[in-house]
Structure 1
Amino acid sequence: MEDLLNTEIWNGRTAGDLLTLEFLLGIAGSVVSALLILIIGLLLAGWANRRITGLSRRYARLDDTLFNFLGSIVKYAIVGFTALFILNTFGVRTTSVVAVIGAAGLAIGLALQGTLSNIAAGVMIIFFRPIKHGDFVVVNGQMGTVKDITLNFTELADLSNVQIIIPNSEVWGNTITNYSVYPTRRAEWTFGVTYDSDLKLAETIILDTIMADERSHTEPEPFIQVTNLGDFSVDFLVRVWCDSAVYFAYKADMTRKVKEALDAGGVGIPFPTQTLQIEREKPGSQSMPAAG
């Protein structure tokens, strides 16, 4: 009888140990599966992101900003599905998780209306592309080169290479001036000459100097006319087309070259002057007495 009791106790312990071992093996298997799914998911997300963003670098006609955005969406979508698969591995009912996430997303959306408006504006900017990476723009009163467009903000670098961050809602909801969309621009100057200058000579010097530069376009035809008779000068308005990429340097160079050419041609460039007339008292005259 005692031997039989000892045998039953031993067998009971063996069954309990087997159950514990089976449970631990099940947990270990789930952990290993989850790690494999995580590694594969992260590798797949990174690969998909690189492939999509690489398309814009391979083909010059494709926009970098749009494909960077699409790559990010695909990456995070794969990461999200990977997380659901991992939860399913541990026996978590993913339908309940999705419902909880949806309810939490609604609450978070109400609390973050400003952020969501930036995201919505970012999506509109990326898909409609009023601006893109590398454009020189004026946005919300800020001038600079577009360095990056994310879902939340747009990054500019101003003329001093200072970073400017603008929320996307302020980009999409304001007037955008984009100087990089069209390949050519029209440069405009106003040159003044003195009233006693030979106007025909001045016009010839100004136009010949500007058109001698290889950056000046002959089509459309350049424009030069006297448009104003000022207090001190006769003003010529000059308009010539050039490539957008050289606009600022071209306009500054021509301003200096025209001034030097007018000096060399003997054409005077006016500057504001004032004439002071002093009346002296005649000898023997007496000044009026001051009123008491």
Structure 2
Amino acid sequence: MEITPEMVDSLIAQGIDLVWLIIPKLIYAALFYLVGRFIIGKILKGFNRVLEKRDKNPSLNDFLSGVVKAALYVSLFIGIATVLGVPLTSFVAILGAAGLAIGLSLQGSLSNFAGGVLILVFKPFKSGDVIVAQGHTGVVKQIGIIYTRMTTFDNKEIIIPNGGLANSDVVNMSTQETRRADLTVGVAYGTNIKVARETILDIFKNDKRVHQDPEPVVFLNNFGDSSLDLVVRAWTDAGDLWPVYFDTMEAINTAFEEKGIEIPFPQRVVHQGKD
């Protein structure tokens, strides 16, 4: 096919018309982006201020802010695509197909994501709480959208996926102001239970950390193989639970030694018969 000067002139004219058609759309799209980005910034600042006043949970606030930011920018880019002449139905179809592909490839992560959302919204625990979960006991350091980080009392960091955490039992040991210290003390058979009980209760009376309402109690709980087992229960502030527990165990041992109350060790009596 021979290219004639008329054909070249026609192509140039069409090209110029196309450029004049595209350039305004690009300019409008750029202006739309700049204005939209400015507006999004203002909206996010206002939204973050509202979140800070309403809720002091940084993890939840970061998550909600991220969701709103993502939604606003998706809306912005849909608007830009519309300005450039991209059919909205095609654009939405592409986003839907991409979302489906991502969802299928990240099923496990989406489960953790959903668990993180549930934890942040319903707040079964918060940062700083002591919890027992997934076989671990420790202090919650950070609640992320995918993982929760906690530190055990021997300073090990535990990272737990939120999917399992949201769908299992969690014991929150920090929600109540008071806790009950439960001790089991064994005394030798033949011990005067009344004396042993009064000895233990005297220890609690002299410990200001122990609440007297409800009063501490001491019960004979079991006839063990080598001892009479006493159950000791006393209420205290949550922060004093373990100091009271360990101090009381040591005080009981000292008081029993002074009064001659024996704390037995396992023993077995063997009777030998005559042939």
Q: TM-score, normalised by structure 1?
A: 0.72
> What's 1:31 paired with?
30
Distance 1:244 1:267 in 2: 31
Pick closer, same or farther for the CA change 1:64–1:221 going to 2, 3 Å. farther
Displacement of 1:93 in angstroms is: 4.4
Q: Does 1:52 align with 2:46?
A: no
Distance 1:48 1:104 in 2: 29
Distance 1:250 1:53 in 2: 38
> What's 1:187 paired with?
181
Q: Check the 8 A contact 2:204/2:216 in 1, yes or no.
A: no
> What's 1:106 paired with?
100
Identity of aligned residues (%): 36
Distance 2:243 2:71 in 1: 46
Distance 1:21 1:80 in 2: 28
1:180-211 superposed Cα distances (whole Å, 9 cap, x missing partner):
23332221111223345443222111111023
Distance 1:218 1:252 in 2: 19
Displacement of 1:253 in angstroms is: 2.0
Distance 2:28 2:188 in 1: 93
Partner SS state of residue 55, structure 2: helix
Q: Check the 8 A contact 1:182/1:244 in 2, yes or no.
A: yes
Structure 2's unaligned 5+ residue stretches are: 1-14
Displacement of 1:116 in angstroms is: 1.9
Distance 1:163 1:75 in 2: 31
> What's 1:3 paired with?
none
Read off the aligned partner of 1:214 and give its amino acid letter. Answer: K
Pick closer, same or farther for the CA change 1:42–1:275 going to 2, 3 Å. same
Q: Check the 8 A contact 1:121/1:169 in 2, yes or no.
A: yes
> What's 1:221 paired with?
215
Distance 2:22 2:37 in 1: 22
1:105-154 superposed Cα distances (whole Å, 9 cap, x missing partner):
12222222222222222233333333333221121212222223233222
Read off the aligned partner of 1:113 and give its amino acid letter. Answer: Q
How do 1:87-236 and structure 2 match up within 5 A?
Answer: 87-236=81-230
Read off the aligned partner of 1:56 and give its amino acid letter. Answer: D
> What's 2:257 paired with?
263
Out of 232, 237, 250, the position equivalent to 1:238 is 232
Q: Check the 8 A contact 1:48/1:75 in 2, yes or no.
A: no
Read off the aligned partner of 2:95 and give its amino acid letter. Answer: I
Displacement of 1:22 in angstroms is: 9.7
Aligned length in residues: 258
Pick closer, same or farther for the CA change 1:199–1:41 going to 2, 3 Å. same
Distance 2:65 2:27 in 1: 34
Partner SS state of residue 190, structure 1: strand
Distance 2:74 2:192 in 1: 77
Distance 1:227 1:22 in 2: 91
Out of 60, 64, 70, the position equivalent to 1:70 is 64
Q: Does 1:250 align with 2:244?
A: yes
Q: Which has the larger radius of gyration?
A: 1
Read off the aligned partner of 2:100 and give its amino acid letter. Answer: L
Q: Check the 8 A contact 2:48/2:61 in 1, yes or no.
A: no
1:14-38 superposed Cα distances (whole Å, 9 cap, x missing partner):
xx99x97997687456435523432
Q: TM-score, normalised by structure 2?
A: 0.76
RMSD (Å) for aligned C-alpha atoms: 3.4
Structure 1's unaligned 5+ residue stretches are: 1-15, 58-62, 278-292
Q: Check the 8 A contact 1:65/1:132 in 2, yes or no.
A: no
Q: Check the 8 A contact 2:25/2:84 in 1, yes or no.
A: no
> What's 2:4 paired with?
none
Distance 1:23 1:97 in 2: 19
Deviates more, 1:73-82 or 1:90-99: 90-99
Pick closer, same or farther for the CA change 1:43–1:249 going to 2, 3 Å. farther
